[in-house]
Amino acid sequence: MRLRRIFFRVVMAGYTENELAEDLNQQEYRYGFVTDIASDVAPAGLDEQVIRWISEKKKEPQWLLEFRLKAFEVWKSMQEPEWAHVAYQKPDFQAISYYAAPKQSKKYESWDDVDPEMKETMSKLGISLEEQQRLTGVAVDFVMDSVSVGTSFKAKLAELGIVFCSFSEAVQEHPDLVKKYLGTVVPMTDNFYAALNSAVFSDGSFCYIPKGVRCPMELSTYFRINAGGTGQFERTLVVADESSYVSYLEGCTAPQRDENQLHAAVVELVALDQAEIKYSTVQNWYPGDNEGKGGVFNFVTKRGMCETQAKISWTQVETGSAVTWKYPSCVLKGDGSIGEFYSVAVTNNFQQADTGTKMIHLGKNTKSTIISKGISAGKSQNSYRGLVQIHAQAENARNFSQCDSLLMGSECGAHTFPYIECKNAGAQIEHEATTSKIGEDQLFYCQQRGISEEKAISLIVNGYCKEVLNQLPMEFAVEAQKLLSISLEGSVG
């Protein structure tokens, strides 16, 4: 804890708003590079043929193909949802390519076999595998376009019986586990994008922690959309068996393109009795340029199922994407289970975010906490949308929600749409929300003590997000903090 605090201060002192702005005028979106790797791309469009093609390409068993086809049928009968507080040109689902894989997608025998250009991509992202392996002890699974390209630290994890691999690998090597849990938390009929994902998902990560095992390191996946004209549809399934613990990190980037790219992922978490899953995301898809052109549409379904006394904690830092539509949720099914949601969502320029959570209390003595911090700048729109639902049998349930919004600039919007539904008299629900700009008194206080306006703003914003950033693992917290400053570049002063 102490180490973290010191580190924060160094980052802040060394990186003022002005320097940042200068840095960024030249730099803009620093992940906006395209890696020149030949890739295997499916023809644009979606029909049964394409789904069969993907399934065959991945040598999938029959049951999975059937799962996909069934999902496709469901998807065809569904309407694209319109209730979110966002406006965008709906993607043309027949113009997207549903599968793009780096050409040499054969299994790598050792790290040296990996295409040097791919390694370059990774180091540009700041996640050079070698370095990570040696220094941080984080096991990384890297998903580029649709295919997982390298999973590190596998052997060490295997000793403990932990399975951490790409989704397609899991389908081949642990079909029973995948079959047992796939679609149990987010059924294919759940919503339009979940159905689409179920039909066409190409890869993703799979993780299984056996009974009573505490995963000794943080597991991490990086997602990247590289090829143009493609969508990314990955699927993550994390299963924590009884009394186990895992902390899982997820990062996302995409190259700068004029077109809108679609990202429709599904994440399913299963926390069995007394298990704990901590799931952290730093989402930094390309947000579009200053005029709102291009950017990723991030339509994601994330949900966790908590059995008896299990705990799922979602932490997210959302700075990218042109349009975000994302509600990491917890179904508190077991008695005494706990759900947590910590979120910082930053929107700038023409970004739009409609994000929040759902806490469904089914079991007795269930608890949930929601802390959501929204920051809107430029001409962006940032909405919190949340549901707290206490069912009749959920005796003694407890919820605390806090959603704060910070407005920077007169052309942006900040909105709050909380739904609170209570069917049990034993429940205690508290919800509070505030919307304001940075207090003039706070600014004055800092400036009066010799802190420049820019620094003061940066200080206040960091303090404002601290509750959430503190939930992140150290490396992520630093990255998130930098991202936060980058995203707000030019919006203050």
Partner 1 sequence: MSENLVAFEHQLGTTSLSMPELLTKEAKEGIARQASFPTTRDEPWKYTRLARVAGLTVAPIAFKGAPALLKGMETIDVIFEKGTWWCSAAVEGLTLQSANEISPESWQACTTKGHVQHLNTLTAQGGIGITIAAGTTIQQPVRIIHRCSGAQGAMVLHHQIKVEDRAHVRIELIFEGEAEQAYSNVLTDFFVGKEAQVHVDKWQNTQGAHYGFYNERIYQERQSTFRMQTITANTHFTRNDVEVFSQGEAAHTQLYGAFFGRGQQLIDNHTYVHHMAPHGTSDENYKGVLWDKATGVFNGKVKVYQDAQKINAYQSNKNLLLSSAASMNAKPELEIYADDVKCSHGSTTGQLDAQALFYLQARGISKAKATEMLVGAFCAEVFEAVHSEYIQTAIAEHLTL
Q: Which residues make up the interface to partner 1 (CB under 8 A)?
A: 83, 85, 392, 405, 407-437
Contact 390, 360 (CB under 8 A): no
* Residue placing its CB nearer to partner 1 in the complex, 85 or 482: 85
* Residue placing its CB nearer to partner 1 in the complex, 125 or 387: 387
* Residue placing its CB nearer to partner 1 in the complex, 404 or 489: 404
**What is the closest distance, in whole angstroms, from the C-beta atom of residue 392 to partner 1 in the complex?**
8
**What is the closest distance, in whole angstroms, from the C-beta atom of residue 424 to partner 1 in the complex?**
7
Helix axes of 192-200 and 62-76: crossing angle, nearest 10 degrees: 150
DSSP letters, 338-407, are EEEEEEEEEE-TT-EEEE--EEEE-STT-EEEEEEEEEEETT-EEEEEEEEEE-TT-TT-EEEEEEEEEE
Q: How far is CA 323 from CA 326, 345, 381, 455, in A?
A: 10, 12, 10, 29
**What is the closest distance, in whole angstroms, from the C-beta atom of residue 401 to partner 1 in the complex?**
9
* Residue placing its CB nearer to partner 1 in the complex, 160 or 420: 420
- Amino acid identity of residue 268, one-letter, is E
**What is the closest distance, in whole angstroms, from the C-beta atom of residue 432 to partner 1 in the complex?**
4
* Residue placing its CB nearer to partner 1 in the complex, 37 or 406: 406
**What is the closest distance, in whole angstroms, from the C-beta atom of residue 17 to partner 1 in the complex?**
18
* Residue placing its CB nearer to partner 1 in the complex, 4 or 85: 85
Contact 332, 370 (CB under 8 A): no
116 CB-near residues (< 8 Å, 6+ apart): none
Contact 358, 420 (CB under 8 A): no
* Residue placing its CB nearer to partner 1 in the complex, 145 or 489: 489
**What is the closest distance, in whole angstroms, from the C-beta atom of residue 263 to partner 1 in the complex?**
27
**What is the closest distance, in whole angstroms, from the C-beta atom of residue 364 to partner 1 in the complex?**
13
Q: Which contacts qualify for 14-19: CB closer than 8 Å, 24 or more apart?
A: 15/482, 15/485, 16/452, 16/454, 16/455, 16/458, 17/454, 17/455, 17/457, 17/458, 17/485, 17/492, 17/493, 18/454
